[in-house]
């Protein structure tokens, strides 16, 4: 778990559709950061949370986004505590998908290029 926590976090707000198949519930949400192994997101409504609960994900903007993971942590947030902020760990086989790894690496490199350009502009 320590190695997973040391993974680079890509801070990017992306809409997602989440499901809890066991409870036959679905909702919308917003991802705030992602790594190769998991994501932090906020749901649009509450559900019956449980650690290690299996969740499904669909992200139109990121087709290779892993489609399944375990709920690792959660807390109520928002007005009247009507939403959850969640941390999920992707299923190992989906997190190891080459298309997902490539997407993450390309987006991290884009971020690094922008940061390098900004540093150079400030120096000149």
pLDDT reported for residue 35: 93
Going by DSSP bridges, is the β-strand pair 54-58/68-77 parallel, antiparallel, or unpaired?
Answer: antiparallel
Closest CA to 35 of 100, 83, 86, 84: 100
Q: What is the mean pLDDT of each run of 10 residues along the chain (124 residues)?
A: 61 95 96 95 94 95 95 93 95 91 89 52 49
H helix or E strand, kind and range, residue 27: strand 25-34
Ordered by where they begin, the domains of the chain are 2-123 (2.40.10.220)
The structure tokens 């990017």 sit at 12
Predicted TM-score (pTM) of the model is 0.82
Backbone angles phi, psi at 32, to 5 degrees: -110, -30
Which residue in this structure is represented by tokens 């997407």? 103
What does the block give as tokens for 122? 């400030």
Distant-in-sequence, close-in-space partners of 61: CB < 8 Å, separation ≥ 6: 14, 15
pLDDT for 112 equals 66
Rounded CA gap, 97 and 120, in Å? 35
Helix (H, G, I), strand (E, B) or coil at 20: strand
What confidence tens digit (pLDDT) does each residue in 51-76 have? 889 999 999 999 999 999 999 999 99
Asked if 4 and 48 touch (Cβ cutoff 8 Å), the reply is no
């Amino acid at each position: 778990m320590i190695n997973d926590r040391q993974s680079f976090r890509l801070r990017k707000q992306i809409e997602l559709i989440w499901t809890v198949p066991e409870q036959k519930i679905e909702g919308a949400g917003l991802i705030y950061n992602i790594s190769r192994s998991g994501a932090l997101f906020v749901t649009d409504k509450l559900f019956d949370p449980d650690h290690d609960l299996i969740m499904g994900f669909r992200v139109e903007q990121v087709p290779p986004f892993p489609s399944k993971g375990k709920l690792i942590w959660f807390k109520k947030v928002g007005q009247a505590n009507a939403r959850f902020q969640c941390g999920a760990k992707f299923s190992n086989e989906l997190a190891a998908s080459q298309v997902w790894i490539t997407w993450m690496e390309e987006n991290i490199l884009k971020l690094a290029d922008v940061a390098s350009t900004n540093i150079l502009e400030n120096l000149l």
